[in-house]
Structure 1
Amino acid sequence: MSEIEIFRKVMPELYWCPRCNVPVFDENCGKCNGFTIKVRVTPPGDVRPAFKKDIEDLRKTLYDYFTDWNIVDFMLPRNKFVLLNKIEYPDAADEIIVDGQILGHRFYDVEKRLWRFKPLYNGVAGILKLKTNYYAIVALPRIRRRFVVHKKHIVEAKLPSRKGEYVAISTEKGNLHGIAEYVGASRLRVLKAWRGRKFLKIDAEGDFKVAIEANKHRLENLENEAIDFIKKVVDRYNLPVIVSFSGGKDSLATFLLVEKALGKIPILFNDTGLELPETVEFVKEFAEKNGVELLVADAGKKFYEALEIMGPPARDYRWCCKVAKLSPIANLVNTKFPEGVLSFVGQRALESTRRALSPRVWRNRWLIKIVAASPIQYWTALDIWLYLFKEKIEANPLYFEGFDRLGCWLCPAVELGELEAVAEKHPELVKWWTDHLKKYAEEHGLGEAWVRFGFWRWRKLPGDQKRIAEKYGLKIEKDPRGAPIEVTSFKVEEGVPVRVYGKIEGLRRLEYFQNLLHILGQVDASTSLDEIMVKTSDSIFRIKPSGEFILSSKSRTWKKILLNILSIAFRASYCVKCGSCVSNCPKNAITYGGEGVLIDLDKCTKCGLCNFACPIAVYSLPKLNIFKLLQV
Structure 2
Amino acid sequence: MYSYTYDKETGGILLNSFPQAFSKEPRPVYSKELDIYGFDSYWNYEQNDDKPYMWAEANNFYYRGKLVAQVKGGTFFTKPEIIIIDEPEANSLPLKAVDLDLMVLKNKALMESLTATTIKDVFNTFSKYENKVDIFHVSFSGGKDSVVTLDIVQRALPHNKFVVIFGDTGMELPETHQIVEYTMDYCKKNGIEFYVAKSHLTPSESWRMFGPPTSTVRWCCSVHKTTPQLLLLKDILDKDNFTEMAFVGVRADESVRRRSYDYISYGTKHCGQFSCNPILYWNSAEVYLYIYANKDRLRLNEVYKRGNTRAGCLVCPMSTNRNDYLNYRCNPNQTKILTDMIFDLNCSEKDNTPEKISYVENNGWKARKNGRDLKIALKDYDESVIGKELSITFKNHDNSWRQWLKTLGQVLPTDNQNEVRIMIKDEVKGLKIIELENQYITIIASNDPTTINVLFLKNLRKILRKSHYCVACKVCQANCKFGNLSFDDNGKIAISDNCIKCGQCLDINTGCLVYKSLWLSKGLGNMDKKRTLDCYAAHGPKIEWFQEFVKLGDDFSKNNSLGSAQKPMFNRFLKDAGIIDEKCNRTNLGEKLVNSELQDLSIWALMLVNLSYTPQVGWFVKSFNFDSLISRNEIVALLSNMPEIKDSALKAIPPTLKRISSLPLGKLGFGTNDKATKELGGLSFYRTAWQDVDAKVILYSLYKFAEACGDYYQFTLTRLMDTTVESDGVSPVQIFGLDKDVMTGILKGLATNYPDYISVSFTLDLDNINLRQEKTSADVLDLF
Per-residue CA deviation, residues 442-490 of structure 1 (Å, 9 max, x unaligned), is 3777844212333211126xxxxxxxxxxxxxxx995559964665483
- Counterparts of 1:7-406 in structure 2, within 5 Å, are 12-26=2-16, 44-58=23-37, 60-61=38-39, 63=41, 69=42, 72-73=43-44, 81-86=53-58, 94-110=59-75, 113-118=78-83, 123=85, 206-238=98-130, 239=133, 240-264=135-159, 265-291=162-188, 292-301=192-201, 303-337=203-237, 338=239, 339-365=242-268, 367-392=270-295, 393-406=298-311
How is 1:421-460 mapped onto 2 (pairs within 5 angstroms)? Answer: 421-442=326-347, 447-459=356-368
Distance 1:549 1:433, change over 3 A: same
**Residues 105 and 117, structure 1, Cα contact 8 Å, conserved in 2:** yes
1:490 and 2:390 correspond: no
Q: Residue in 2 aligned with 1:552?
A: 446
Which structure 1 residue ranges, 5 or more long, are not aligned? 1-9, 29-37, 64-68, 87-93, 131-200, 461-475, 494-498
In the alignment, the residues of structure 2 paired with residue 532 and residue 483 of structure 1 have an alpha-carbon distance, to the nearest angstrom, of 30
- 1:561 to 2:466 alignment: no
CA distance in 1, matches of 2:236, 2:7: 50
Mark the CA change 1:276 to 1:359 in structure 2 (over 3 Å): closer, same or farther: same
**Contact 2:76 2:321 (8 Å CA) reproduced:** no
1:515 corresponds to: 403
Give the Cα–Cα distance (whole angstroms) in 2 for the partners of residues 272 and 52 of structure 1: 29
Letter paired with 2:6 = W
Q: Which residue of 2 aligns with 1:147?
A: none
Q: Is the 8 A contact 1:532 1:544 kept in 2?
A: no
Return closer, same or farther for 1:549/1:204 CA change in 2, 3 Å cut-off.
closer
Determine the C-alpha separation between the residues in 2 that align with 1:434 and 1:406: 18
What SS is found at the alignment partner of 1:400?
Answer: helix
How big is the shift at 1:359? 0.7
Q: Secondary structure at the match of 1:367?
A: coil
CA deviations on 1:136-155 (whole Å, 9 max, x unpaired) are: xxxxxxxxxxxxxxxxxxxx
8 Å contact kept, 1:330–1:580: no
CA separation of 1:306/1:508 partners in 2, compared to 1, >3 Å: closer, same or farther?
A: farther
- Relative distance call for 1:331 and 1:225 in structure 2 (3 A) is same
* Displacement after TM superposition at 1:352 (Å): 0.9
Q: Retained in 2: the 8 A contact 1:49–1:382? A: no
Say if 1:306 and 1:375 are closer, same or farther in 2 by CA, change over 3 A: same
CA distance in 2, matches of 1:403, 1:302: 25
- What is the CA distance between 1:606 and its match in structure 2? 2.2
8 A Cα contact 1:539 1:554, kept in partner: no
CA gap 1:477/1:313 in 2 versus in 1, 3 angstroms: closer
SS of equivalent residue, structure 1 residue 379 = coil
After TM superposition, give the deviation of residue 306 of structure 1 in Å: 3.2
Q: In structure 2, what is the Cα distance between the partners aligned to 1:407 and 1:616?
A: 21
CA 1:627–1:621: 2 relative to 1, 3 Å: farther
By relative contact order (CA 8 Å, sep 6+), the higher-ranking structure is 1
SS at match of 1:312: coil
Q: Is the 8 A contact 2:74 2:325 kept in 1?
A: no
Mapped contact 1:513–1:572 kept (Cα < 8 A): yes
8 Å Cα contact 1:508-1:573 kept in structure 2 = yes
Q: 1:365 to 1:492 in 2, by over 3 A?
A: farther
Query: Aligned in 2, Cα 1:518/1:484: closer, same or farther, shift over 3 Å?
Result: farther
- Give the aligned residue type for 1:395: L
The answer to whether the 8 Å contact 1:483/1:616 transfers is no
Match of 2:315 in 1: 410
SS in 1 for 2:183: helix
TM-score by length of 2: 0.57
Under a length normalisation based on structure 1, what TM-score does the superposition of the two structures give?
0.70
**Aligned position for 2:389:** 500
Counterpart of 2:492? 596
CA–CA distance in 2 between the matches of 1:615 and 1:225?
42
How much has 1:577 moved relative to structure 2? 2.5
Q: How far has the Cα of 1:541 moved from its partner?
A: 1.9
Are the structure 2 counterparts of residues 529 and 620 from structure 1 closer, same or farther at C-alpha, using a change threshold of 3 Å? farther
Q: Which moved more, 1:538-547 or 1:621-630?
A: 621-630
Conserved? CA contact 2:28–2:52, under 8 Å = no
**Matches of 1:287 and 1:424, distance apart in 2:** 28
Q: Which residue matches 2:727? A: 628
Provide, for residues 535-579 of structure 1, a one-character-per-residue CA deviation record: whole Å limited to 9, x for no partner. 652532223233333212544344443332222122223323332
Unaligned stretches of 5+ residues in structure 2:
523-724, 732-767, 769-784
The alignment of Structure 1 onto Structure 2 pairs a total of residues equal to 499
1:176 corresponds to:
none
Amino acid at match of 1:608: G
Query: In 1, Cα distance between the equivalents of 2:470 and 2:324?
Result: 30
Deviation of 1:314 (Å):
0.3
Letter in 2 for 1:261: A
Tell me the distance in 2 between the aligned counterparts of 1:399 and 1:620.
32
Q: CA deviation at 1:49?
A: 0.9
Distance in 1 (CA, whole Å) between partners of 2:168 and 2:371 is: 36
> What's the Cα RMSD here?
3.8
Distance 2:183 2:485 in 1: 36
Cα distance in 2 between the residues matched to 1:306 and 1:21:
46
Judging changes above 3 Å, is the alpha-carbon distance between structure 1 residues 54 and 259 closer, same or farther for their aligned structure 2 residues? same
CA 1:374–1:608 in structure 2 vs 1: closer, same or farther (change >3 Å)? Answer: closer
Corresponding letter in the other structure for 1:228: K
Secondary structure of the equivalent of 1:336? helix
